[in-house]
Structure 1
Amino acid sequence: MNPLTIIQDSLYFFRRNIASILTLCLPLVILEALSKQLLSSAIGPNASANWQLLTGLLFYPLYTGALILFLDAKTRGDTPGTRDLLAATLRLWPTFAVLTALSTLLIMAGFSLLIVPGIWVMIKLVFSEYLLVLRGLGPLDAMRESFMMTRGHLVRILACVLFVYIPLSVLEGLSLYVLPDQQSPMLSLTVDSISSFLQLFISVVMFRLFMLIDQSARTA
């Protein structure tokens, strides 16, 4: 399970299925970015921080859950419709939102102590979304199982995360440097939407790693 091989396999899948992923996730990503922009304009960037977090809890489980279901279906050779995936995701939304909220609080608590505990918690919870969506576990059970499933794989997971987040962070930094300070609302919405959509690639990478570790555990 070489991290570079996992990244290459995930990139190949992402490129081959980019049209389907765009159709499935991009509208929700744009709605999320638009909602955050409207909140920021209405009540100010500082006062809207908590509201933007709540907006993320509304949209993130929808497009991430749909993407996980899509990845699982393609792995099994199925081609589900966008409407079917979104309908299934809506049924999962309440528990997924709870999981997202709990995970966010734990990660923020870790980062409030030091950077390392925050990164450690983030890595230990990285499989909880897949366990909730694909195995039907509740939020707490999914978090507990993710802690156990990641045991012995922390370095590999961290390497995969860094291989994705570092280039994305560089691209985001370049966009902030190149684009004007006072962006038009449309330009800002476009940049935020593209950035959020590209970050979905990490879900593809983590799904690939999740399947490899799960398969290895089952055959052991």
Structure 2
Amino acid sequence: MTFDYLRQSLFFFRNHANRLALIQLPFLAVLAFVQFQVIQQLPDNLENIQTATLQKSIFLSSALDLALMPVYWGATLFYLQSVLHGQPLAISRALSLSMTCWGRLLLTYMLSVLAISFGLVLLIVPGIYIAIRLAFAEFYCVMDGMGPIDALKASWDKTNDFFWPLLQGMALLFGCLLLLETLIGELLREQQGALTLVSILIQFLGVLPTIYAYRLYCVMKADDQPT
């Protein structure tokens, strides 16, 4: 079953990669550029940099990342939903819709990260378990219009029967992406510009686990429909 859903997810990505790229890549490029500029401004010897300056640079980069994430991910989720309904959204429409759920999606992501981080502190395995159980939260937030707490609760309730397919598929996809990033990173260690471009591409490929999780979310929704 897992491999069937993976194959369907890859097929979807292949058919819609151009639209997904138009949604995500401009934002990923901006974030990568800002991070690159922050790194370039750091001295070779970090002992020579003032702590306040370093903290300010990291804060600004992180704040921009947080501000933009609900925009391009929200647009991505709306686009996935529109394709499922047979009426693919224009890129501009998907982005405008993402602004309607910016606040609640941001809080959903932040609460998810806090919960997962807490679990990771407890010897990693609890963090992985929590991450899988909260995999549907962003879908409930965007597609069903739920608030952050309700979205997290709904995801926790509904992922119980899909835990193993989610774990297997996500582990395989994230494992492949991590391996790819590590190998390319070693090859391009001295080529910062090329490494930045590859990093953007790897981040874009991070849409694959989301597509896979959404496929299972749709299966769950179909199972919940009255017969």
TM-score normalised by the chain length of structure 2 = 0.89
Matches within 5 A, 1:7-156: 7-42=6-41, 47=55, 51-156=60-165
Matches within 5 A, 1:174-189: 174-179=183-188, 181-184=189-192, 186-189=193-196
From the CA coordinates, give the structure whose radius of gyration is larger.
Answer: 2
The answer (yes or no) to whether the contact 2:6–2:169 under 8 Å persists in 1 is: yes
> CA separation in 2, counterparts of 1:90 and 1:178?
39
Query: What's the offset of the Cα at 1:171?
Result: 0.5
In the alignment of these two chains, the number of paired residues is 217
The C-alpha deviation readout for 1:177-202, integer Å capped at 9, x for no partner, is 211x3333x32320221110011111
Structure 1 position 212 matched with structure 2 position 219: yes
Structure 1 position 157 matched with structure 2 position 166: yes
> CA separation in 2, counterparts of 1:109 and 1:67?
27
The equivalent of 2:51 in structure 1 is none
Flag the 1:98–1:43 CA change in 2: closer, same or farther, 3 A.
farther
SS of the counterpart of 1:153?
Answer: helix
SS of the counterpart of 2:160?
Answer: coil
Query: What's the offset of the Cα at 1:40?
Result: 3.4
The equivalent of 2:208 in structure 1 is 201
Equivalent residue letter for 2:19: S
Over the residues paired in the alignment, what is the CA RMSD in angstroms? Answer: 1.9
Query: What's the offset of the Cα at 1:138?
Result: 0.2
Flag the 1:151–1:12 CA change in 2: closer, same or farther, 3 A.
same
> CA separation in 2, counterparts of 1:219 and 1:3?
25
Query: What's the offset of the Cα at 1:52?
Result: 4.3
> CA separation in 1, counterparts of 2:31 and 2:214?
23
Query: What's the offset of the Cα at 1:94?
Result: 1.2
> CA separation in 1, counterparts of 2:60 and 2:131?
22
The C-alpha deviation readout for 1:24-66, integer Å capped at 9, x for no partner, is 2111121122222233334689745555443332222222111
The C-alpha deviation readout for 1:138-178, integer Å capped at 9, x for no partner, is 00100010000111221111011012111111111111121
SS of the counterpart of 2:213?
Answer: helix
> CA separation in 2, counterparts of 1:114 and 1:10?
31
Flag the 1:120–1:53 CA change in 2: closer, same or farther, 3 A.
farther
The C-alpha deviation readout for 1:93-125, integer Å capped at 9, x for no partner, is 111111111111111111011111100110111
> CA separation in 2, counterparts of 1:118 and 1:55?
25
SS of the counterpart of 1:126?
Answer: coil
The answer (yes or no) to whether the contact 1:30–1:189 under 8 Å persists in 2 is: no
> CA separation in 2, counterparts of 1:9 and 1:21?
16
Equivalent residue letter for 1:17: H
Which moves more between the two structures, 29-38 or 161-170? Answer: 29-38
Query: What's the offset of the Cα at 1:76?
Result: 0.5
> CA separation in 1, counterparts of 2:78 and 2:187?
36
Equivalent residue letter for 1:196: Q
TM-score normalised by the chain length of structure 1 = 0.91
> CA separation in 2, counterparts of 1:100 and 1:38?
26
Gap runs ≥5 in structure 1: none
SS of the counterpart of 1:98?
Answer: helix
